[in-house]
Structures are given as C-alpha cells and as structure tokens.
Amino acid sequence: MNAYREGVFNQINVLIQTILSIVDKLEESDLEKRPTENKYSIGELLKHIATICEADLLISDEKTSEEMDKYYSIKLIKSKEEIKEELITNYNLLKERYTAYTENELLQKKTAYWGVTYTRYEWLLYILAHLYHHRGQLHGILVHFYKQDPNILLFELIYRSLSQSFIIYSINRPYC
C-alpha cells in the first residue's frame, strides 16, 4: 500500500477506535436521545457513522440515488453492539477494497449520483472528512447538550524526537 493511502487509513483507524470508545461509554438508553427536533437522535447519528465507510464506497462506485435509498433502508442497526459491529465490518471492507486498488485505479474519476466527481483517492479523503465531521458532531452533542464528556483522546500527534525515532502523544484538549 502506498504511503498516502496508508496514512489515510491510519487516520481512519484512529477515528474508528475513538468512535468505538465513545459508544462503549454510552448506555443503550442514550441512543434514543434527540437533541434537536427533526434531526438525528444519537442512535441514528451512530447508525449513519457506522455505515459511512460502506455507503460512501458505494457512492464512489457510482451507485444511483435509488440504489443508495435501498441500501440505507435495509440497514437495521439498533443496539450499541450492532453499531460497533457495523462500523468495524464496513471499515474492513473499505480497507480491503482500497488496498487492492492499483495506483492507476486510485486516480480513476468517479461521479456521485448528485454530480460531484472525484478520483478514488479523493473519495477516500472524503470518507475521512465525513467520519471526522460526524465524530465531532457526536462529541459536541454529548458534551454540550447532554453534559456527557466521554473523556477520550480524540487526536494523536506525532513528534520527532532527537534520536529521529517517532514518539506518539495523544491529546484531549479541554476545549474540544
């Protein structure tokens, strides 16, 4: 796997691990909480997050709007365990597919049903951004609306030491 693709998957892995940590800290009853009328409940948001890797992969495969509606309609994810299983399964599917792509395949342009065109590599970056967006949304809802800070490390920073080896530091900024 090339270094760019490997770097993106490292970041997605960090996201998946932190999302799993957040889910572990929730009660099943938390999934029903809906901070804003006509918006996702925590459970619905987590269901969406759990399907991002596979759904966005399908979108990048140029599935139609109707095909995506059907995909979403058959995803019956209700419990914390089902959310976690779906998240891990879909991450593994995404990684398996992208690991198999050649450099030329990563540069192939693919168009979503709403008209945006990206290379497959750009779609991978889109998936990364999509996951970051919704993890931040979930964290913000829990902290600011429900006063439930999951107290997890959201980012890892890499610093080069004097010996040129890498040391990984994780941070959880109090204002995040």
Homologous superfamily of domain range 3-149: dinb family like domain (1.20.120.450)
Q: Is the pLDDT of residue 132 over 90?
A: yes
Residue 41 burial (10 A CB sphere; 0-12, 13-18, 19+): middle
Q: Where are the domains of the chain?
A: 3-149
> Looking at residue 154, what is its pLDDT?
78
> Looking at residue 100, what is its pLDDT?
96
Q: If we measure between CA atoms, which residue out of 151, 141, 131, 169 comes closest to residue 35?
A: 141
How do residues 65-114 score in pLDDT, each as one tens digit?
999 999 999 999 999 999 999 999 999 999 999 999 999 999 999 999 99
| Mean pLDDT of the 136-142 span | 94
Where are the strands (E) in 101-154, listed by range? Answer: 109-111, 117-119
> Looking at residue 70, what is its pLDDT?
97
Burial letters for 54-70: b for 16+ Cβ neighbours within 10 Å, e otherwise? bbbbebbeebeeeeeee
> Looking at residue 156, what is its pLDDT?
66
Q: Is the pLDDT of residue 176 over 50?
A: no
**Per-residue tokens: 104:** 């030329």
Q: If we measure between CA atoms, which residue out of 41, 15, 52, 50 comes closest to residue 136?
A: 15
Where are the strands (E) in the chain, listed by range? Answer: 109-111, 117-119, 155-160, 166-171
Q: Is the pLDDT of residue 60 over 70?
A: yes
Q: Is the pLDDT of residue 163 over 50?
A: no
